[in-house]
Amino acid sequence: MRQPHPYFATCPKGLESLLMAELAELGATRQRETVAGVYFDGDLSIAYRVCLWSRLANKVLLPLTSFDVSSQEDLYEGAKAIVWEEHLGPQTTFLVDFIGSSGAIRNTQFGALKIKDAVVDRLRDYMGTRPSVSKSNPDLRINARLSKNKAVISLDLSGESLHRRGYRLKQGGAPLKENLAAGILLRAGWPALAQQGAALLDPMCGSGTLLIEAAYMAADIAPGLGRANFGFERWLNHRNDVWLDLRGEAIERRRAGLAGQRPEIRGYDADLKVIRAAEDNIIRAELDDWLRVSRKELSTFKKPTHTALDSGLVVTNPPYGERLGEIESLKLLYAHLGERLRDEFVGWRAAVFTGNPDLGKQMGLRAEKKYKLFNGPLPAELLLFSVAEENFVKAGTRRDVESRLEGPADGQPPETTTALSPGAQMLANRLRKNLKQLSRWVRKENIQCYRLYDADMPEYAAAVDLYWGLTSGQTGAPQLYAHVQEYAAPKSVDEGRAEQRFAELMAALPEVLEIPQERIAYKQRRRNKGTSQYEKLAERPRGELISVQEGQARLQINLWQYLDTGLFLDHRPVRNRIAQWARGKSFLNLFCYTASASVHAALGGARFTLSVDMSNTYLNWARKNLAANGLSESRNRLEQADCLQWLENNTQQFDLVFLDPPSFSNSKKMPGVLDVQRDHVSLIHKSMRAVADGGTLIFSTNLRTFTLDEAALQDYQIENITAQTLDPDFKRNTKIHQCWLIRH
């Protein structure tokens, strides 16, 4: 009992130094670190204590022998030479775990079989009867490792891996092993923070593993106390009196720990299913009178308000994706997590565990420390942050740039730095005038995307939209971008003259906006390319997105790849109203495009949103918009479908429905043709079937010649709100859209 033995404790790669320190605290001696484990010495009580108290180990192995293996017979004879009758009897069931290979032993199953035969033959020769193998619940596990033609055979004192504490029967899609969660918390300094009374919050808690492990540390609870059994309990040399004393001590320490001051520990997740799993796991860990979890979107993550929490740790294991589309969306999710930390948790610590370190760069925070770890076989990284202003990657301000663009206070335009033609100079003066006229509204309402020019001078027939934003991974001050769409010139206008005027527009814009041409996207119509064709004049990386802000929403636009940018600026007031009206309601977004209206509804407090569109491209874009705002698809569903067919089959009802169909569509994915003037009555009738009693349909169209057939819709209450949905940047073009509220 008191004789020291050599042992070997295995652990996840990257936690070896932490395990070595833990073993020393538990009374082990002569520790020696190696890859994925630590050798140590101690008597039998130390081995028991490690099995009961180690938060980091997977296995505790008692080596019995080691020998060279150059043939199958060597493996068999070396295993048979062990005095197995001192360790298991004929009624003992056992299982051999074999790891490794060599020229002689190329298959782990074959290696396990040779050792099994050696054990059985030895006991049959000694006792006249043989023990049985059990694959599901063996009394004793034998561990064999073969490396560089040398075999080490050990007794597995732990039995089932020690990371299995016994509390987690339910888990999410990408579970974090309990001992890896403990390693993350130790690296993040949680035990010291807990002693100081700091709080711990996990905004994406999944099945609650980090929360439970944090509570175990804070309350001095042995992680093995809830396990059904250990491998040593049916070993012939087991000392049950020693084990019962150690277990009794752990029970008393748990009682004292739970009776003391307990720090605030809370978890949140957008997925109700995993929250239910976390609740079950917390109950099984007998911590349900302490730990709290609730369903919450990342967008609403902030400090609890029921008590003052001046310091604490935000720790989380966000998803990190494998496919390109997932990664692009997750970049936005990580950026939003960084924003929540900067806005709500200054003075706190943060720990983010990720399998894709590049995603951590999106957070806008400089990591103080980084640790290489492994989540199973996958390389991962733990990023540690001190949430303080000096560690923020600052976004900067637009004010100084806007003031310069608007010109001097006396209203005189600044001198141009390049020679402009008279026409281009005249256009530049108009652009500056518009900048100045819109400036007060832009600043008061914090407008970051707006229309600067809309064919104000008929000979320069184009729309110019401005966007302040940052591309993915970009830091520093938001940059100004412009998007130019040329209107199709009538046949009476000479093609050469139209091209000259567009060239003057291209000369005036960078001069007025003080930005390079590469930050201006030009979409130019030319009759020789077809009346609906745009020529891309600025070649950019496909799919390059710019993140812009509109009200509460952070939205992704693409200036270069498509006809439109992903954000219809004229509908800004409609989206803002949706955000106001959606609180506590269910919201349906038909022909949702990039689902910007759904994002506004969700951020406004919608109970549930459903966005329907036929285009998978737009729905993937919508996923990025949701992720950028910390919104999950569990509460904000996206459905790929033909809206006309979807309405035919729909049986759901919603409190608020947004119907903004294209003016005309003959998509190959549709069985027919959609003409909003011809089909709007039928479309509204079908949509109204999806509107609950007391609910509202918002119907909008951009067809400038559109006339609503009120006679055919006389059974509904109809309110024209077009005038209220035109902001100052679109009031000079009142036909940009029409909008109605329709109720039962």
In 308-358 the beta strands, taken as DSSP E runs, fall at: 312-316, 349-354
The pLDDT of residue 525: 66
356, 277: one domain: yes
CA 131/CA 527 separation, integer angstroms: 88
718, 735: one domain: yes
326, 198: one domain: yes
On whether the CB atoms of residues 630 and 660 are closer than 8 A, the answer is no
23, 125: one domain: yes
Long-range contacts from 562-567, C-beta under 8 angstroms, 24+ separation? 563/523, 563/534, 565/465, 565/467, 565/483, 566/593, 566/594, 566/596, 566/621, 567/449, 567/594, 567/596
Q: Is residue 508 part of a domain?
A: yes
The pLDDT of residue 637: 97
* Cβ density class 83-116: b for 16+ within 10 Å, e for less: ebeebbeeebbbbbbbebebebbeebeebbebbb
Tell me, what DSSP letter sits at residue 413? P
Tell me, what DSSP letter sits at residue 175? P
CA 130/CA 123 separation, integer angstroms: 6
Q: Is residue 167 part of a domain?
A: no
Q: For 56-97, write each residue's pLDDT tens digit.
A: 999 999 999 999 999 999 999 999 999 999 999 999 999 999
The pLDDT of residue 325: 60
Q: Is residue 251 part of a domain?
A: no
pLDDT along the chain (744 residues), means of 10: 86 97 97 96 97 98 96 96 95 96 92 96 92 93 96 97 91 82 98 96 96 98 95 96 97 97 96 94 96 94 88 92 70 90 95 91 92 92 95 64 58 58 94 94 94 93 94 74 88 80 93 92 65 44 80 94 92 97 98 98 97 95 94 95 95 97 80 90 97 97 96 96 96 92 97
- Please, what is the Cα angle at 636 between 631 and 641, to 5 degrees? 135
On whether the CB atoms of residues 688 and 696 are closer than 8 A, the answer is no
361, 424: one domain: no
720, 576: one domain: yes
538, 620: one domain: no
CA 548/CA 546 separation, integer angstroms: 6
Give the range of the structural domain holding residue 308, as residue numbers without chain letter: 178-219+260-390
On whether the CB atoms of residues 66 and 151 are closer than 8 A, the answer is yes
452, 351: one domain: no
477, 548: one domain: yes
533, 656: one domain: no
Q: For 344-379, write each residue's pLDDT tens digit.
A: 999 999 999 998 888 888 898 999 999 999 998 889
The pLDDT of residue 626: 96
Domain boundary among 390, 425, 458: 390
